[in-house]
Structure 1
Amino acid sequence: MTPEPHSPTGTDDLLSEPPPSCPAHGTGPGGLRRLYGPEAQDLAGLYEKLRAEHGAVAPVLLHNDVPFWMVLGHGENLHMVSSPSLYTRDSRIWTAVLDGTAGPDHPLMPHIAWQPICSHAEGDEHQRLRGAVMGAMSTINSRTLRRYINSWTQYLVNKFCERGTADLVSQFAEHLPMAVLCEILGMPEEYDDRMVHKTRDLLKGTETAIASNEYVMNVLMRLTVRRRAEPAEDFTSHLINHPAGLSDEEVGQHLRLVLLAAYEATANLLANVLRVVLTDPGFRAQLNGGQMTVPQAVEQSLWDEPPFSTVLGYFAKQDTELGGRRIRKGDGLLLGIAPGNVDPLVRPDLKANMRGNRSHLAFGGGPHECPGQDIGRAIADVGVDALLKRLPDVQLAVEEHSLRWTASISSRHLVELPVEFDPASPQDVMERPGVSEVPRPRPDWEVSSARLKPSPAPRPVEPRPEALPPAPAPDSGRPLGAWQRFLRWWRGY
């Protein structure tokens, strides 16, 4: 990138005392704004202050007042993630690690510390590890995945549909991704409230996070040993058997990476899409009227409320320049997903329709772009669609302004989404909602005033979808028309 006419500055320069007239005077050492503490309660507002004061790349302070760079510009973020010769995910070259400023007890070290996984590797090692993950991802059958999502959606909705009230965060958005991921990894028996709680606790970084991490890793290592001895048609087996030859430790660590990243991102995405549907009448009207599909609604949400706000972190491999700022070797930079998505240079009108536009930063980019993004999209697409078909009259049960979030430097998580609806009967977990409501076309196109026969009584509801049956065969007495065959294919049957 070409330096701007003014003299770029580095983080060391900005740690000197600012002039008294500086609007940031007194906010932190060197007048830098902190990404933690009282001012960081509204990170979206803070990002815009930084953009106004510094432009596309701003100097900031992490916990313990460690200097860092916040990348706010859409183009600057894309340049950073797409330039592996200049920036790395390997935090071992971070100046703050080398000089001890950010030691192992730093609050953000669990997010930043180097690990022997593909998202921190480079070169041939990155190709080996990521190649194994991508190879295993390629074996996931999309129709089978949609059946998993649909059956678990029915199971979860069955648990609260008769009451007429629910919290769509704790009873749906936080559970559906975990249930589906356990199916994909090959351990459906491990899905339960405890697995959800331990994963949530681990991601929150609480005092019990270490114990929760041990629980999750024990589950994943047991799965690795079992699948090494007894391979099956699941992600874990394909990861183990990939020609890259991952060790058991490498397999376990990458299962953890996939589980945590996909779970947190998808849980946030589900909650965000449902919130917009319930609070924006125009948004919901477009969905109901057919002007917008659920996948388009998901994509709009990825622009407006990305599941991860930032990614910690990238580190400069050499002296360089970004957004007019002098970046020194060893400096740390934050991938600014949320601020990059609202960069005025790419979104001068934040109310503009972004449906169908996938140039957002929600899944990163470059060599470390999220490999499981299509799984997250599928869970949100199918899960939201199936939920709204089961509960078409669902409404927010509280005032929108009373909704609460927990925010961290990495993400913004909706605490709860209380809703109410007319109580409904449980449904067979293997049945696509609304399938029986679509009448079969008459083969001879005969018009008749004969009354429709009443629908048969629903089959008993299974306690949980332990295994998926084969796709139901068409009725031999009346062949399906082209439209029904298409619907069955689209819905995963």
Structure 2
Amino acid sequence: MSTHPTPPPECPAHAAGAAGALYRLHGPEAQADPLRLYEKLRAEYGPVAPVLVSGDLPAWLVLGHRENLDVARTPSRFARDPRGWRDMKEGRVPADTPLGPMVTWVPVCNFTDGPVHERLRGAVVESLERFDKRGIRRYVTRFANQLVDRIAADGYADLVASFSDQLPMLVMTQLVGAPDEHGPRLVKAARDMLQGTETALESDRYVTLTLEQLVTERKAEPGYDLASWLIEHPANLSDTEVLMHLRVVLIAAYETTANLIANTLRTVLTDPRFRASLSGGHMTLPDALEQVLWDDPPINTIIGRWATGDTVLGGRQVKAGDMLLLGLAAGNADPQIRPDPSVSVHGNRSHLAFSSGPHECPGQDIGRAIADTGIEVLLDRLPDLQLAVDAGELEWRGTLMSRHLLSLPVRFTPRSVEHAGPHTEQPSEHPPHVAVIPPQPTAAPTAAVHRRRGGGWWRRLFGRR
């Protein structure tokens, strides 16, 4: 618990009847074991709990699955525009707050509602839907094999540093239209930004300048990529809107997909129930990813929503201008929908990992394709992967929004890459990752790709023939 000066009468602390005694979501306890803290909050407050965020600013953390859906799906009550935040309007938020990127309004779809949101999100969704999913998987296969080639002969690797932190940005760099040479530097810059290091601002400038240059080039010479499609979209986005949406897609896809890959690999290597299910042939790799999206989602908490008026949520009196945090991981663990967390959720996609409602993640199928295909390539090439340390020695870096696995050391039989030809796809003369599909503003969202694999890597991984 933490103490805090007596808050203003309208803040969540007084509404909870516990002024000056709230849990911090930016303290050591939250960073060390956020899921344990969520359950402590649920036991004390129910589905909606008063908490403190950076700067000891008050907020509501939404813990219930139903309540998360209520907040996410009703923008008329809970707006996405941070300019409605009462603490910001009344000058209680410091200019250098770490929450800055999440609470500073910019002209992007995830900070808007209503017709403006529909216009901006429509451009993003319809542009993303022009990608050919099979072509994306070919690009993932190419880069995943290149990453495996770098470690195959060593017999030892850290799969976070050498694989999960690398693959998503290498693929997304291609999809947005940036040249190959920007991939490695963008990986470092994005991670640096998300860690908030001393060089984070410099990394932020690098990402922005890279994308500004890309927009300029694509206006002069369009290609088959996200930048070009956003520029030419009938929504008539400004250069700033194109730039900001490229940035959102690039960074959001990178962080969530990197965490999803790392979390899935960790589960495969450490959870006997998970391995037994895979080896028994009852769970495909896409099914396994969905289980991880339930149990260990790549984003714990989303900042945020802001109450448009006084309302009641989960039995709590929420005031106009209050900040709300969507507790995705907490909602997934809600005992109202998962009374026994050990029971498989096979085939159930009602998790909150990608949120819900008008702001549900538009690129989730691309993220699934990168994680699914990349992990399959890795395990197919290195089928005898074993964790090189005790599972209890693994460490995470926690933030308000997510937990990032710091390393995943593994051992495997060293393999020569000289004869890896069949495994490694070389780029063709024409970009293999896209299909030229005209914009279809009324098209339904692309369904996720499902595949059933009866043999392959998991049979070798678990010694089954």
- Normalising by structure 2, we get a TM-score of 0.87
2:356 counterpart (342, 355, 365): 365
The residue aligned with 1:82 is 73
Q: Spell out the pairing of 1:103-122 with structure 2 (5 A cutoff).
A: 103-122=94-113
* Change in CA separation of 1:382 and 1:11 when aligned onto 2, cut-off 3 Å: farther
The residue aligned with 1:457 is none
Q: Which letter does structure 2 place at the counterpart of 1:33?
A: Y
The residue aligned with 2:285 is 294
Deviation (angstroms), 1:104: 2.2
Q: Spell out the pairing of 1:20-99 with structure 2 (5 A cutoff).
A: 30-40=20-30, 41-99=32-90
Aligned Cα root-mean-square deviation (Å): 2.3
Deviation (angstroms), 1:16: 8.6
Q: Spell out the pairing of 1:34-433 with structure 2 (5 A cutoff).
A: 34-40=24-30, 41-426=32-417, 431=422, 433=423
**1:12 maps to 2:11:** yes
The aligned length equals: 428
Contact 2:82 2:104 in 1 (8 A): yes
Percent identity, aligned pairs only? 51
Deviation (angstroms), 1:429: 7.5
Q: 2-side partners of 1:164 and 1:467: how far apart? A: 34
Q: Spell out the pairing of 1:458-473 with structure 2 (5 A cutoff).
A: none
Q: Which letter does structure 2 place at the counterpart of 1:77?
A: N
* Change in CA separation of 1:236 and 1:17 when aligned onto 2, cut-off 3 Å: closer
Q: Which letter does structure 2 place at the counterpart of 1:373?
A: Q
Q: 1-side partners of 2:166 and 2:402: how far apart? A: 18
Contact 1:149 1:382 in 2 (8 A): yes
Q: 1-side partners of 2:360 and 2:254: how far apart? A: 16
Q: 2-side partners of 1:356 and 1:405: how far apart? A: 29
Q: 2-side partners of 1:192 and 1:360: how far apart? A: 31
Contact 1:151 1:429 in 2 (8 A): no
Q: Which letter does structure 1 place at the counterpart of 2:253?
A: A
Where 2:330 maps in the other structure, the secondary structure is: helix
Where 1:283 maps in the other structure, the secondary structure is: helix
Contact 1:314 1:333 in 2 (8 A): yes
Q: 2-side partners of 1:390 and 1:323: how far apart? A: 49
List per-residue Cα deviations over 1:158-195 (Å, max 9, x = no partner): 01101111111000001110111011111242444322
Q: Which letter does structure 1 place at the counterpart of 2:416?
A: S
Q: 1-side partners of 2:273 and 2:67: how far apart? A: 33
Q: 2-side partners of 1:417 and 1:252: how far apart? A: 34
- Normalising by structure 1, we get a TM-score of 0.83
Where 1:352 maps in the other structure, the secondary structure is: coil
Contact 2:138 2:432 in 1 (8 A): no
Q: 1-side partners of 2:15 and 2:142: how far apart? A: 59
Contact 1:154 1:428 in 2 (8 A): no
List per-residue Cα deviations over 1:50-86 (Å, max 9, x = no partner): 1011100011111222111010000000000000111
The residue aligned with 2:462 is none
Contact 1:155 1:465 in 2 (8 A): no
Q: 2-side partners of 1:294 and 1:221: how far apart? A: 37
Where 1:383 maps in the other structure, the secondary structure is: helix
Where 2:378 maps in the other structure, the secondary structure is: helix
Unaligned runs of 5+ in 1: 1-9, 19-23, 434-460, 472-485
Contact 1:151 1:430 in 2 (8 A): no
Contact 2:157 2:410 in 1 (8 A): yes
Q: 2-side partners of 1:304 and 1:189: how far apart? A: 34
Deviation (angstroms), 1:142: 1.0
List per-residue Cα deviations over 1:354-411 (Å, max 9, x = no partner): 1211100000111100000001101111111111111111111111111010001100
Deviation (angstroms), 1:292: 1.0
Unaligned runs of 5+ in 2: 1-8, 434-450, 457-465
Deviation (angstroms), 1:469: 7.8
Larger radius of gyration: 1
Deviation (angstroms), 1:204: 1.5
Contact 1:11 1:68 in 2 (8 A): no
List per-residue Cα deviations over 1:408-457 (Å, max 9, x = no partner): 110000000011111112267774x4xxxxxxxxxxxxxxxxxxxxxxxx
Contact 1:179 1:188 in 2 (8 A): no
The residue aligned with 1:450 is none
The residue aligned with 1:455 is none
Q: 2-side partners of 1:98 and 1:216: how far apart? A: 30
List per-residue Cα deviations over 1:470-491 (Å, max 9, x = no partner): 79xxxxxxxxxxxxxx99xxx9
Contact 1:47 1:72 in 2 (8 A): yes
Q: 2-side partners of 1:198 and 1:184: how far apart? A: 18
Q: 2-side partners of 1:17 and 1:292: how far apart? A: 43
Contact 1:178 1:191 in 2 (8 A): no
Where 1:106 maps in the other structure, the secondary structure is: coil
Contact 2:152 2:417 in 1 (8 A): yes
Where 2:11 maps in the other structure, the secondary structure is: helix
Q: Which letter does structure 2 place at the counterpart of 1:273?
A: T
Where 2:61 maps in the other structure, the secondary structure is: strand
* Change in CA separation of 1:101 and 1:292 when aligned onto 2, cut-off 3 Å: same
